[in-house]
Copies of this chain bind each other. A is one copy, B any other.
């Protein structure tokens, strides 16, 4: 069966601190048809992290080599490189599995260029004030750094206009249910089901 055209690539993005990692973890736990992409990174493995499960750990020379062809997006964060391997994503989609990427906004833009059919989901804080509280709650953010992050967040929220769906994370349970509903609804969208149904009719 030509299932690959019936698979979806979901990109979940949003400002730092908005809770997208928690939301994506919940989504993956509840949806066995959804595959998580394992990122490649130059940062060292932390205690308890397994190569190939949490990240694929590579050195900088290897990462630089991969950037040219083998990554669908990459970014440098605090001096370390992070990227999404193309081969993994394409293999999952070809096998009929949907894939979810939890990436930053610059990465989302890169993915959309490579996979124009990607479903773009933006996680929003209920208001910038609450985003500030969450960042402050981490305890390791100075007032100056907080201001920089809030300025970045305002710019990132502006980027949300390039996304298909917005989920406001004012309540984790509700935001999680909305994220799951978007995945379900996208599976109902015409092209996929039409192909599936016509194949049933004609057999």
Taking the full assembly, how many copies of this chain does it contain? 2
Selected contact of A194 from candidates B126, B166, B188, CB within 8 Å: B166
Q: 5 interchain pairs (CB within 8 A)?
A: A157-B201, A165-B185, A165-B193, A166-B197, A182-B188
Alpha-carbon distance between A127 and B198 when the two chains are bound, in angstroms: 9
Residue from the list B128, B160, B201 in contact with A128, Cβ < 8 A? B201
Complex Cα distance, B130 from A200, in Å, reads 12
In contact, B184 and A164 (Cβ under 8 angstroms): no
Other-chain residue from B166, B190, B200 in contact with A188 (beta carbon distance below 8 A): B166
Residues of B within 8 A of A38 (CB): none
Q: Which A131-188 residues have a C-beta within 8 angstroms of B?
A: 157, 160-161, 163-168, 177-178, 180-182, 184-188
Chain B residues within 8 Å of A186, by CB: 185
With A124-B197, A127-B201 known as contacts, the answer to whether A184 contacts B190 (CB < 8 A) is no
Chain B residues whose CB sits within 8 angstroms of the CB of A196 once the complex forms: 168
Closest CB in chain B relative to A98 CB, distance in Å: 14
Does residue A53 face the partner (Cβ distance < 8 Å to B)?
no
Q: Is A189 an interface residue (CB 8 A)?
A: yes
Cβ contact of A181, chosen from B160, B180, B194, cutoff 8 A: B180
**Given A127-B200, A128-B201, A194-B160, A165-B177 contact (CB < 8 Å):** no
